[in-house]
Amino acid sequence: MLTSFSVANWRSFKEMTHLTLLAPKDRRHGTRVPKVGKSGLSVLPAAAIFGGNAAGKSNFFMALYFAKELVGLGSIHEVDIDVDPFLLDAKTEKRPSAFVFGLAIGEDTYEYSFKVTHRKVQEEKLVKTSAKPKIVLFDRKGADISFDESVPEEEPLKSIVKSTMAHQLLLTNTVLKGEDIFRHIYDWFEDSLQCVPSGIRCSSFGQFMGPANKQNMKRMNAALAQMGVGLDGIEGEVLPIDEIPGMMGLEKTLMDELPDGGSSRLRLPSDRISAMASRRGNKITIEDLVACHKNAGGRKVVFQLWQESDGARRAIDLLPVFLWNTAPGASRTYVIDDLGKNLDTPVARKLLALFLSNCTNDSRSQLLFTTRDVMLMDCSLLGADEMWVMEKCDGGGSRLLSVQACEAPAHGCAKDGPPRSRMGVPDSLLDMVFGKEAGGLGR
């Protein structure tokens, strides 16, 4: 699980900007806060970042996405690192961008950080923070890399250090070279951290569709019928592979790439076909996803997905994220940019409530999202410690503010006691979150 994230000198973030997902001991909704690690650390299952256009919400999302890609794929060729420093100050353009992750994995907690420029990794460090005292597992400064004595510096690891290029993360190279000593950290970025950009189809869709996932299809349609997007469900219509334009050799490719029983959403030349591929044994099935409605007489009527509204298609794309993340044993951290895009507020609230209602002290799923919809910043859904505000400050930079710093004792989002400073959080947002009487906070 993600316990914290900080970034500096990245796009609109000039100064170090912090997001924490550690819950205070006296928080509301305590029964849905996971207890992780040997010490029972309380980690929040959700974080909402509200802000207007150009406030920096998507830049914050892209910082997480960039880090995931750099760790997972690495910069394995002699090419520049695709980093975007803060450009509104001449001094920062050539300085490194910094990324710091707090992670809870299994029974332990870690801090993994790195600083990179276009040309090289300047610093990289992995600290086991659950150890007493903390253990710096490795510390890299330029070409110099040191390890703690608990890390066996055997010949394979020494060879990996020598082969790590200046523009490549050591964490990535150890896994690429077959060394598993830090694989659990790598796997969190590669598998557990899932980023869903605004307007992009999510990668979990295949887990819920296709003939190999009939139970998941039923679960998907049951939830979809309750979302209020004007359709009764979706289903698949089988397409002959040889009749799909531009798909010569598709069957062999899918046999090589899909595991038995697996499904995947296909990107086809025609935007009027929303296809799923499924494999069972040596057979590949391609289905066109269609939307189901009922006419006045109760008869089923099928629409192509391109005929549906933007909101309905957005709900179809996002719903698997929420269903996947509420399944027993799920342990992914999903980050969604602009959750409310093309969705009515009631639909977005139902998706959020679906996730939160399945969170317990034993769950390990997380949902982070950005939004322009102030109605999602609601303390009947989220705790004040799960709500954040992004805004532009002087000089063109962005800053992230915690709503928890503005808790209003009279409105149920805080314990009894004196209100804290607003710290720049807009009064209009406080009125929405806490109610009108919260206007007395410092005014």
- The string of pLDDT tens digits covering residues 105-143 is 999 999 999 999 999 999 999 999 999 999 999 999 999
Arithmetic mean of pLDDT, 152-179: 90
How far apart, in whole angstroms, are the C-alpha atoms of residue 71 and residue 172? 6
**Banded pLDDT at 209 (limits 50, 70, 90):** low
Read off the pLDDT of residues 233-244 as tens digits, 9 standing for 90 and up: 888 888 887 777
Reference 212, options 253, 249, 258; nearest CA is: 258
pLDDT at 182 over 80: yes
The two three-digit tokens of residue 355, written as one number:
């996730």
- pLDDT over 90 percentage in the chain: 52
Max avg pLDDT among 177-186, 201-210, 218-227, 417-426 = 177-186
pTM over 0.95: no
Residue 438 pLDDT: 42
How far apart, in whole angstroms, are the C-alpha atoms of residue 91 and residue 89? 5
Q: Give, as one character, the DSSP assignment of residue 421.
A: P
Residue 424 pLDDT: 52
Reference 169, options 109, 99, 106, 104; nearest CA is: 99
**Banded pLDDT at 420 (limits 50, 70, 90):** very low
Arithmetic mean of pLDDT, 144-166: 88
pLDDT at 95 over 90: yes
Q: Which residue has 């695709």 as its token pair?
A: 82
Write out the H or E segment, with its range, that includes residue 366.
Answer: strand 366-371
How far apart, in whole angstroms, are the C-alpha atoms of residue 210 and residue 207? 8
**Banded pLDDT at 230 (limits 50, 70, 90):** confident
Q: Which residue has 């919260």 as its token pair?
A: 438
Least confident of 1-5, 86-90, 439-443: 439-443
- State yes or no: cis peptide before 133, omega within 30 of 0: yes
Residue 295 pLDDT: 93
| Paired sense of beta strands 193-196 and 333-336, if any | parallel
Least confident of 252-266, 360-374, 403-417: 403-417
Read off the pLDDT of residues 186-198 as tens digits, 9 standing for 90 and up: 999 999 999 999 8
**Banded pLDDT at 201 (limits 50, 70, 90):** low
pLDDT at 411 over 70: no
Q: What is the DSSP string of 216-273?
A: HHHHHHHHHHTTTSS--EEEEEEE-GGGSTT-TTHHHHHHHHSPTT-EEE---S-TT-
Residue 440 pLDDT: 35
pLDDT at 29 over 70: no
For 139, 159, 160, 170, 303, the CA distances from 173, given in Å and listed in that order, are 15, 11, 7, 5, 48
The two three-digit tokens of residue 347, written as one number:
């639909």
Count helices and strands in the chain by DSSP H and E runs? 9, 20
The sign of the torsion formed by the CA atoms of 392, 202, 208, 276 equals positive
Average pLDDT of the chain is 85
- Which residues, listed in sequence order, are joined to residue 47 by a DSSP beta bridge? 368
pLDDT at 414 over 50: no
Of residues 157 and 276, more confidence is placed in 157
The two three-digit tokens of residue 86, written as one number:
């803060």
Least confident of 3-17, 149-163, 264-278, 357-371: 264-278
Residue 184 pLDDT: 97
Read off the pLDDT of residues 329-354 as tens digits, 9 standing for 90 and up: 889 999 999 999 999 999 999 999 99
| SS3 per-residue string spanning 137-179 | EEEEECCEEEECCCCCCCHHHHHHHHHCCCCCCHHHHHHHCCC
Question: Domains in the chain and their CATH numbers?
Answer: 1-198+337-443 (3.40.50), 205-322 (no CATH)
**Banded pLDDT at 246 (limits 50, 70, 90):** low
Answer for the pair 254, 207: CB distance below 8 angstroms, yes or no: no
Residue 202 pLDDT: 52
* Cβ neighbours of residue 275 closer than 8 Å, sequence gap 6 or more: 239, 244, 265, 266, 268, 286, 287, 288, 289
How far apart, in whole angstroms, are the C-alpha atoms of residue 365 and residue 323? 11
How far apart, in whole angstroms, are the C-alpha atoms of residue 421 and residue 436? 17
Q: Which residue has 């090589």 as its token pair?
A: 256
Arithmetic mean of pLDDT, 1-8: 98
How far apart, in whole angstroms, are the C-alpha atoms of residue 184 and residue 189? 9
How far apart, in whole angstroms, are the C-alpha atoms of residue 172 and residue 163? 12
Q: What is the DSSP string of 289-326?
A: EEEEEE-TTS-EEEEEGGGS-HHHHHHHHHHHHHHHHT
How many other C-beta atoms lie within 10 A of the C-beta of residue 89? 14
Least confident of 252-261, 295-304, 413-422: 413-422
As a whole number of angstroms, the longest Cα–Cα distance in the chain is 75
**Banded pLDDT at 426 (limits 50, 70, 90):** low
